[in-house]
Amino acid sequence: MMVCHCMGISDRDIRAAVDWMRAADPDTIITPGKIYRALGKRADCGGCMPLFLDTMSGCGTLGVPVNLRKPKRIASKEQA
């Protein structure tokens, strides 16, 4: 299915880019901008963004890296 008509990006392109980025760097945060760059494209009108984001979120490998799921807590002055 065509997701971005301006740049000719399909749902398969998005899934492939997400999988490639996750395999290349398991700790990376994947954003639409990074996907566009990985595909050698750039966003144009932005009309595709809702469908683009839905397609991204449907990727099994998109998830937030484990080491970034629980932010480190900063000790307060009372605990020190």
39-57 mean pLDDT: 91
Determine which helix (DSSP H) or strand (DSSP E) holds 4, and give its type and residue range: strand 2-4
Cα–Cα distance for residue pair 6/60, rounded to 1 Å: 26
> What is the average pLDDT across 9-29?
92
CA distance linking residue 26 with residue 63, whole number of Å: 10
Task: Report d(CA 7, CA 13) in Å as an integer.
Answer: 11
The residue-averaged pLDDT of 37-60 equals 91
Phi/psi at 9 (nearest 5 deg)? -105, 130
Residue 63: pLDDT band by 50, 70, 90 thresholds?
Answer: confident
Q: Is the pLDDT of residue 76 over 70?
A: no
Average pLDDT, the chain: 85
Q: Is the dihedral of CA 19, 20, 23, 29 positive or negative?
A: negative
